[in-house]
Amino acid sequence: MISDKSSLASRLGWVLGETEKVLAETRQSFSTYVSETALPSLETAISKARHVLGVLDLLDTEGAYMLGREIVLLMDAIRQEKVKNWEEACSITADGLLQLSEYLKHLRDGYADLPVIVLPMLNNLRAARESELLSEHLVFLPAEGVVTNEQIGTDKYLPLPVDKLDQATKRLRFYMQKALLGWFNNDRPAFHLQAARKVAVNMITLHEKERLRALWWVTSGLLQALEENKLEDSAAVKLLMGRMEREIRRFGDLQETAYNAALPDELLKNLLYYVGLAEESDGTLNAVKQAYHLDLYLPKGGTLQELRTYYTKPGRELWQAVSSSLQDELALLMSQVESLGQREHPTALLADVAKRTGSLAQTLGMLGLGTVADLTDKIATEQQAAAAADTQISSDLLERMSEHYIKLESVLREYAETGYDRTEEIFFGEGQSGSELGAAREVVRTSLTSLAKAQAELAAFHQEEGNFAHLEEISKVLRSISGTLEILSLQEIQPLAQGLKAYLAKDLQATKRKPALEEIHCVADIMTLLEAALSCISNHEDHLPLLPVGFEKLYELDNYTKIDLVHEADLAHAQAELEHKKKAKQQTPATLYQKLRNQRLLTEA
């Protein structure tokens, strides 16, 4: 199973420039081969493609590696004249090289690595060399990580001595065999599947390790899907359920620790695959789908099409360039609108504005900004109707045009900055406007710059014993950051700044005390966590999971000083605010786009 590698985008950022250069050279060499049928050019293309493949293997990018590998294999088949349709094979290879480049750029921009996205291209490449096609099962790589007892819905665990456990597993295996046999024979299948579910629930309570509890929880979800006819009871599913019956015996023979070590990840993957194929339902089935984000890792129908659309949207460089160009066009439109109210005969100018606005709407749609494209198209339609009527433009229309363009400018500015579509927030939300979002981001970036200086001052203080002027500079930075957090209503982060500030001012600076090395390390850790939280906010990522670690470090620092840092930092209020924001976040499910752009969402409990 793949891991949700939050550092994948960073690792790709380090090497993508050089890798893209090699890919461009590969495309050029292959193009030369196609146009001139020059075998040395093909050999060069294969060599360079193998180099890229090696890089992708080291980076652990499953989807990109699969795609790169199929490209190399097809090139090699072309070289050995093992393809029936040379022209088609060459065309597919060229398409594959282009898609690999685009896929890597999206991974660099923070998108999840989902092999199912490139499955059609993988199969085109394999078909060209008459190789067996891949099923979605073979590219289904769900997120690593174990669900918690909270997600499972119970922490009940029955520790049994060896002899009692042996009796329990034999009894449960007998019940499972009886239930499955009734289901296989189509004898009251719903009744027997319900009985099998009860066995799975009981198996959860016999395990202490969450990995094993999750195994039977997922099994329970799959049995629910079969019981409710949300999934076809195929031969493969029946074989899988037979395997789960035998797992009961293996657990009884090996006991918890040895069984956990021997259990392959592939078994849970197979169970999750069929849960992902099942139709939606309530209860355990839905909880399993949500816990493992199966809408993302095993998308179907419209969801799969939606995901593939996201991966064909422009990459960072292109969206910044296009957004900048659109903002220039928008500035011209806004100046034209200002002059409309001053003209005695504005019809001709309004017709031009309508034409430009309509063109703008089309471009927004091509960028993937569908909602704002529709809103802009509606404005353009109204403008066309007003121009055709050849009457005085109403003040209401002029006002709505101006408001639309101002909000659209904010959408484009946010899109150029982050690559996120914030139309809903800017046009319909009650929160921050586009300009306020930009201003908040700049304030946070200023704080990050100041914090970097404070970290340098801490290092200098450690090297220059007794020079407390460095601490005064750090205190100034922390006071400024504390003010920023207050303005941005980030009270949950305040203890990290307030606690450090109190420690420096009321202990070290007041007493001129030389701190131990462990204290310096603890202060540095808190600064790093404060920096990480601010960076998350700047990048529109969730900072809440970082804070418990920061609070633990603050408690640790509290042990080094006579100052009551927990009270000074008002930690109890911050922890209450943290829990409040966590609950609010849980009540607002992440969209598919947010999941694939923010890997932390995939690993949260």
The class level of CATH for 316-428 reads mainly alpha
Segment 449-458, tens digit of pLDDT: 889 899 999 9
Sign of CA dihedral 247, 248, 254, 258: positive
pLDDT exceeds 80 at position 542: no
HEC sequence for 71-97:
HHHHHHHHHCCCCCCHHHHHHHHHHHH
Segment 126-164, tens digit of pLDDT: 989 988 887 666 666 565 566 888 889 899 999 999 999
Give me the architecture of the 434-602 domain, per CATH. Up-down Bundle (1.20)
**Which of 62-76, 423-437, 557-571, 585-599 shows the lowest per-residue confidence on average (mean pLDDT)?**
585-599
Residue type, 6: S
User: How is residue 480 written in tokens?
Assistant: 């400024």
Every domain range in the chain assigned CATH 1.20.120: 8-136, 316-428, 434-602
Segment 258-302, tens digit of pLDDT: 999 999 888 888 888 888 888 888 899 999 988 887 776 766 655
Segment 325-367, tens digit of pLDDT: 777 788 888 888 888 867 777 888 899 999 999 988 888 876 6
pLDDT band at 605; cut points 50, 70, 90 = very low
Residue type, 389: A
Distance CA 263, CA 281 (A): 29
The class level of CATH for 8-136 reads mainly alpha
String of DSSP letters for 127-139: HHTTPPPPPGGGG
Mean pLDDT value of segment 31-54: 93
pLDDT exceeds 50 at position 3: no
pLDDT exceeds 90 at position 323: no
User: Partners of 143 in the beta sheet?
Assistant: 2
